[in-house]
Amino acid sequence: MKSLRNTIVVLGILLCGVTGANAEDSALVDLLTRQLGVSTVQAEGGAGAIFKAAKERLSPTEYTQVSDAIPEATSLLDAAPKPRTDNGIGGSMGGVTSALGGKGSSLGGTAKAVGSMGALSESFSSLGMTPDMAGKFIPVVLDYAKSKGGSTVMNLLKNALM
């Protein structure tokens, strides 16, 4: 009986430790689900898509600054929807551009920027969200980045996304 009780205590301690670690790892996801009313899968996938788009536009050193400040960014990359094999960015690009506050000209017209934003729009669509939801996710992610890594990390993400 004593052995069973000790086992239960040890399991309880281990479970509390795991729960504590997961709570911190999912702080951004929890924030997105609470503020935007999206599902956990949508929050994970949308945040992952945002970090993926940022990673494609940042230098490795810059992205390391982001991932060091926001450790869950790395695991959220895996939650980002995989891109389709056809390049369906044309029609969805306008939704992301308007969702970002009409800052289409700040994308600079580069193929990389268009590809990243098109992929972001496509990711949100594949998660059952409209492309304009990116415009709702991005400010939450930027605020979270600022709270975790200060203005430097927030500005790196902001410049990569807008």
Question: What pLDDT score does 116 carry?
Answer: 54
Please give the model's pTM, rounded to 2 decimal places.
Answer: 0.68
Average confidence (pLDDT) over 32-38 = 96
Mean of all residue pLDDT scores within the chain = 75
pLDDT above 90: residue 20: no
Q: Is the pLDDT of residue 143 over 80?
A: yes
Query: Into how many domains does the chain fold?
Result: 1
**Token code pair at residue 81:** 């929807």
Domain of 97, in residue numbers: 2-161
Mean pLDDT across 68-93: 75
Mean pLDDT lowest among 23-32, 36-45, 47-56: 23-32
Residue 146 has pLDDT above 90, yes or no: yes
